[in-house]
A and B are shown apart, each in its own frame.
Chain A
Amino acid sequence: QLQLQESGPGLVKPSETLSLTCTVSGGSISSSGSYWGWIRQPPGRGLEWIASIHYSGRTYYNPSLKSRVSISLDTSKNQFSLKLSSVTDADTAVYYCARDTGNYRTDSWGQGTLVTVSS
């Protein structure tokens, strides 16, 4: 069974870069039919899709965040990562890593990790 686990700092200072890693087990991130991505949810609010990447290296970004976001793969470790630069309070959220199988159909999720932006 596919499992995803987020890791990274729970506290980031304003203007700095948020960095998170997702470790995938029970399956390979090199699977041709899978896209690996990040979705976030501010406390008490709705879901916001951030970005995804295919093992071929093709990336997809939410236009509203594109200028600050970078997503990458490490196939040797079966991991993928997110970087979000110049963070503000508005970036405080639970960040989920996830797999989608095409057309943003997201069928596997990590448990989520809360990242707080605060000085």
Chain B
Amino acid sequence: DIQMTQSPSSLSASVGDRVTITCRASQSISRFLHWYQQKPGKAPNLLIFDASSLQTGVPSRFSGSGSGTDFTLTISSLQPEDFATYYCQQSYSFGQGTRLEI
């Protein structure tokens, strides 16, 4: 099994900040890595697929990069609606989540 490790597990930031979340795979996964945002009581929402492709309708302040084992999700300028939990996913494995707080 490929294990996905996210860091940090939680993060405090302010509106306007640039934020980066990291996801590391236990072995190379090429670019088969997706990122989701989840708000309390809601289903997750796909942000980035295949490491760096922006899902339709997602604001351009979200971006993804990486390949192999190391991946990042970057929010260029935090907006109030971005405070949520973020998950990476490779195949049937999700990372443990990163809670982004004010």
Contact = CB atoms under 8 A, between A and B. Distances in A.
Interface residues on A, range: 10 to 19
B1 A107 contact: no
B60 interface: no
Interface residues on B, range: 20 to 34
A112 B43 contact: yes
Nearest to A62: B92
Interface string B75-102: 0000000000001011111111100000
Interface in A76-113: 96, 98, 103-107, 109-112
A104 B43 contact: no
Interface stretch (B16-24, B44-52, B65-73): B44-52
B7 interface: no
Nearest to A98: B43
B9 to A, nearest CB: 10
B46 to A, nearest CB: 5
A32 B88 CA distance: 26
Given A104-B34, A106-B34, A46 B46 contact: no
B94 A111 contact: no
10 contacts: A47-B87, A49-B91, A96-B43, A103-B49, A104-B32, A104-B34, A104-B89, A106-B36, A107-B46, A111-B42
Given A46-B96, A109-B43, A112-B43, 11 more contacts: A46-B94, A47-B36, A49-B91, A63-B92, A96-B43, A103-B34, A104-B89, A104-B90, A104-B92, A106-B46, A111-B42
Interface of B: 1, 32, 34, 36, 38, 42-46, 49-50, 55, 87, 89-97
